[in-house]
Amino acid sequence: MRRTAEGDAKPLVLTGGPGAGKTSLLTMLENMGYPTQGEAGRAIIQDQQRIGGNALPWIDPRAFAEQMLAWDMRNFSNAQREAGPVFLDRGIPDTIGYLELSGLPVPAHMEKAACVFRYEKVFLLRPWPEIFTQDSERRQTLAEAERTCVAMERVYGRLGYILIEVPRGSLEERAAFVIGQAGA
């Protein structure tokens, strides 16, 4: 993909619950030559664990949310430097969904960020029991992953997005669906 002036980019979000195949799909799209931006949550958890930091969802969820917001705003800005579609693993509204799901208040600046940084399209991937796994960064159960997906649907919908549900299938089928819907 060629680099271009700001404003030509089409930031596209992959959202949903954990264990839905978002990261695998993002990797497939990247391998096909599309620009991508990785997920904030997992990277922040890895970095915080490396440095002994407290911005972890099970220690300080508010600090974790602020880190995710900063990461996602940076991802959006990076996407603006690309031409055509840029696929993002989660977006700013996901942080709002995380806070709401955690029963925490959503700061006004996060609501404003969700209104200022707007995505071209949002693709929803539902948790998939057959591929769902837990690890040191993903501690959620499948039931929690399903509640997360519902929260993301609610937040993006409230913000005026029409979500495009990605059907289950092989990575190739899912990638073809997303590319077709993205108009790429």
Taken as a whole, the chain contains a residue count of 184
Q: Which two tokens stand for residue 136?
A: 């040191």
The enclosing domain of 49 has a CATH number of: 3.40.50.300
Residues 25, 14: contact at Cβ < 8 Å? yes
With vertex at residue 136, the alpha carbon angle to CA 106 and CA 101, rounded to the nearest 5 degrees, is 20
What's the domain range around 35?
9-179
Q: Is residue 87 one of the residues assigned to a domain?
A: yes
Report CA Rg, the chain: 16
| The total number of structural domains that make up the chain | 1
Q: Is residue 3 one of the residues assigned to a domain?
A: no
Give the residue from 55, 77, 50 showing the smallest Cα distance to 66. Answer: 55
Q: Is residue 112 one of the residues assigned to a domain?
A: yes
Q: Is residue 167 one of the residues assigned to a domain?
A: yes
pLDDT tens profile 58-112:
899 999 999 999 999 999 999 988 888 999 999 999 999 999 998 999 999 999 9
pLDDT tens profile 155-168:
999 999 999 999 98
- pLDDT computed for residue 133 by the predictor: 58
- pLDDT computed for residue 4 by the predictor: 37
Residues 164, 123: contact at Cβ < 8 Å? yes
With vertex at residue 154, the alpha carbon angle to CA 168 and CA 139, rounded to the nearest 5 degrees, is 65
DSSP 105: P
Q: Is residue 27 one of the residues assigned to a domain?
A: yes
Q: Is residue 21 one of the residues assigned to a domain?
A: yes
Note the pTM of the prediction, 2 decimals: 0.86
Give the residue from 166, 123, 164 showing the smallest Cα distance to 14. Answer: 123
Q: Is residue 184 one of the residues assigned to a domain?
A: no
